[in-house]
Amino acid sequence: MLGPTLQEVGEQLRVSVTVAGSLFTWRASGYLVGAVWCGDVLHRMPNAAAVFLAPLLVASLGVYSLPWCSEYPVACFIFFFQGLPMGMLDTGGNVLMLALWRGSPYQNGFEHAFHFFFSAWARPSRRRSCVRCYCEVSAPSMLGSTWVWPCY
């Protein structure tokens, strides 16, 4: 979570908040490169698990090393190589999901459902309202089926 701690990161790197905000650009650049590169890597590698393991290790090393970083260029390098696996995991997950449901008439529906539920639970305000609606509307019912009503 870079946004809420941007001032502290700027103090740690001894740069202004505006300059520290450029770390978002470095992470986004890595994300773009990782997203474009992952499709090619998945087609060349026979084992998709290895394609996902390496980016997870790189991302975890980037998160682990950031508190000890005190130089801005090193932080840019870390953020770029933290965005790279994020893009690879995001794109690779979608490609793997499409390969998993290949040939199914429900392929588009499943992919849209996964993206909808991810976006519905990504924002805390939506999460609270959906849980509230679920608890108020669906949980007390004894019908055996529960519905989470769209609460926006």
Q: What pLDDT score does 80 carry?
A: 93
- Residue numbers of the chain with a pLDDT score lower than 70: 1-3, 121-152
Kindly report the three-state secondary structure assignment for every residue of 39-103.
HHHHHHCCCHHHHHHHHHHHHHHHHHHHHHCCCHHHHHHHHHHHHHHHHHHHHHHHHHHHHHCCC
pLDDT tens figures, 65-96: 888 889 999 999 999 988 998 898 888 888 88
71-80 CB contacts, 8 Å cutoff, 24+ apart: 71/13, 72/13, 72/14, 72/15, 72/19, 75/9, 75/13, 75/23, 76/22, 76/23, 76/26, 79/23, 79/26, 79/27, 79/30, 80/26, 80/27, 80/29, 80/30
Q: What pLDDT score does 115 carry?
A: 73
Task: Return the closest-CA partner of residue 70 out of 117, 14, 134.
Answer: 14
Q: What pLDDT score does 7 carry?
A: 86
Q: Please give the Cα distance from 132 to 152 (Å, whole number).
A: 11
Q: What pLDDT score does 50 carry?
A: 81
Q: What pLDDT score does 71 carry?
A: 93
pTM equals: 0.69
Q: What pLDDT score does 151 carry?
A: 46
Supply the DSSP string of 138-151, one letter for each residue: ITT--SS-------
